[in-house]
Amino acid sequence: MSSFFYKEGPGGRSKECYQKRLIYRKDIAAAEGDQYQPTNLQDFSFAEKRLYGRVNRVMIPIIADGPAASIGAIRRSEDSTSPVYAFSFVADAFEALALQFDKAILSRKINPNDRFLSQITAYSGYQDPKFLYNQSLDVYKNILVKKMKSPKNAGFMNFEQFILKISDFIESSARKSPLTMPAFIKSTYCPISVSGLSIDISSEKISDDLNKIEKFKKSKNWDFFLNACQTYGFMVDKDIPWRLVADIGSPQMLEYASAYDMKSTNQILSMAYVYAHDFYFNKFKRFLVELYNLSKQTVFTTSTCKDGSLRVSRSEPQDIGQIDDFYALELYCKVRFVEEESHYTNAEKFQLVDDVMEMARIDFDGALYSFERILNKTFDYSGSLSYINARLPEMIEAMKKQDTYVNPVDGEQAGELFEGGP
Quickly count: other Cβ atoms within 10 Å of residue 326's Cβ: 13
Contacts of 361 (CB under 8 A, 6+ apart): 326
Full domain range(s) for residue 363 = 129-189+278-303+318-375
Q: Find, among 131, 129, 99, 296, the residue nearest to 198 by Cα.
A: 129
Q: How far is CA 185 from CA 4, 54, 89, in A?
A: 37, 6, 23
pLDDT higher than threshold 90 for residue 248:
yes
Considering the domain architecture, whether residues 180 and 159 belong to the same structural domain is answered as yes
pLDDT higher than threshold 70 for residue 171:
yes
8 A C-beta contact, residue 185 and residue 191: no
pLDDT higher than threshold 60 for residue 129:
yes
pLDDT higher than threshold 50 for residue 411:
no
pLDDT higher than threshold 60 for residue 6:
no
Considering the domain architecture, whether residues 26 and 112 belong to the same structural domain is answered as yes
Considering the domain architecture, whether residues 333 and 219 belong to the same structural domain is answered as no
Q: Would you state the torsion angle of the CA atoms of residues 13, 15, 20, 24, taken in this order, to the nearest 10 degrees?
A: 120
CA angle, 11 as apex, 8 and 12 as ends, to 5°?
85
Q: Find, among 181, 102, 103, 112, the residue nearest to 140 by Cα.
A: 181
| Type of residue at 238 | K
The terminus-to-terminus CA distance of the chain in angstroms comes to: 51
What is the residue-wise DSSP string for 117-163? SSS--BSB----HHHHHHHHHHHHHHHHHHHHTSTTT---SSHHHHH
Helix (H, G, I), strand (E, B) or coil at 332: helix
**What gap in Å lies between CA 182 and CA 166, rounded to an integer?**
20
Q: Would you state the torsion angle of the CA atoms of residues 238, 50, 256, 216, taken in this order, to the nearest 10 degrees?
A: 10
Q: Find the mean pLDDT for residues 334-353.
A: 89
Q: Find the mean pLDDT for residues 275-280.
A: 94
Q: Would you state the torsion angle of the CA atoms of residues 280, 85, 141, 56, taken in this order, to the nearest 10 degrees?
A: -40
- Provide the number of structural domains found in the chain: 2
Higher per-residue confidence, 78 vs 199:
199
Considering the domain architecture, whether residues 222 and 351 belong to the same structural domain is answered as no
Mean pLDDT estimate for the chain: 83
Considering the domain architecture, whether residues 215 and 115 belong to the same structural domain is answered as yes
**What gap in Å lies between CA 371 and CA 383, rounded to an integer?**
21
pLDDT higher than threshold 80 for residue 11:
no
Considering the domain architecture, whether residues 108 and 233 belong to the same structural domain is answered as yes
Q: Find the mean pLDDT for residues 302-311.
A: 57
Q: Tell me the per-residue pLDDT of 382-395, one tens digit each, with 9 for 90 and over.
A: 445 454 455 445 54
What is the residue-wise DSSP string for 65-85? -STT--EEEESSBSSTTS-EE
Query: Is position 417 within any domain?
Result: no
Q: Tell me the per-residue pLDDT of 25-56, one tens digit each, with 9 for 90 and over.
A: 788 887 665 566 668 999 998 877 899 999 99
Q: Find the mean pLDDT for residues 286-302.
A: 79
User: pLDDT band at 312, cuts 50/70/90?
Assistant: low
Considering the domain architecture, whether residues 170 and 222 belong to the same structural domain is answered as no
The 8-class DSSP code of residue 319 comes to: P
Query: Is position 169 within any domain?
Result: yes
Position 41 scores a pLDDT of: 92
Quickly count: other Cβ atoms within 10 Å of residue 19's Cβ: 15
User: pLDDT band at 181, cuts 50/70/90?
Assistant: very high
Query: Is position 311 within any domain?
Result: no
Query: Is position 3 within any domain?
Result: no
Percent of the chain clearing pLDDT 90 (strictly above): 56
Considering the domain architecture, whether residues 247 and 358 belong to the same structural domain is answered as no
pTM for this predicted structure: 0.82
Residue at which a domain ends, from 356, 375, 394: 375
Position 407 scores a pLDDT of: 35
- Give the CATH number of the domain where residue 107 resides: 3.30.1380
Q: Look at strands 234-237 and 243-246 and give their pairing.
A: antiparallel
Query: Is position 414 within any domain?
Result: no
Considering the domain architecture, whether residues 105 and 200 belong to the same structural domain is answered as yes
User: pLDDT band at 405, cuts 50/70/90?
Assistant: very low
Considering the domain architecture, whether residues 149 and 120 belong to the same structural domain is answered as no
Considering the domain architecture, whether residues 342 and 291 belong to the same structural domain is answered as yes
Considering the domain architecture, whether residues 181 and 290 belong to the same structural domain is answered as yes
pLDDT higher than threshold 70 for residue 412:
no
Position 23 scores a pLDDT of: 82
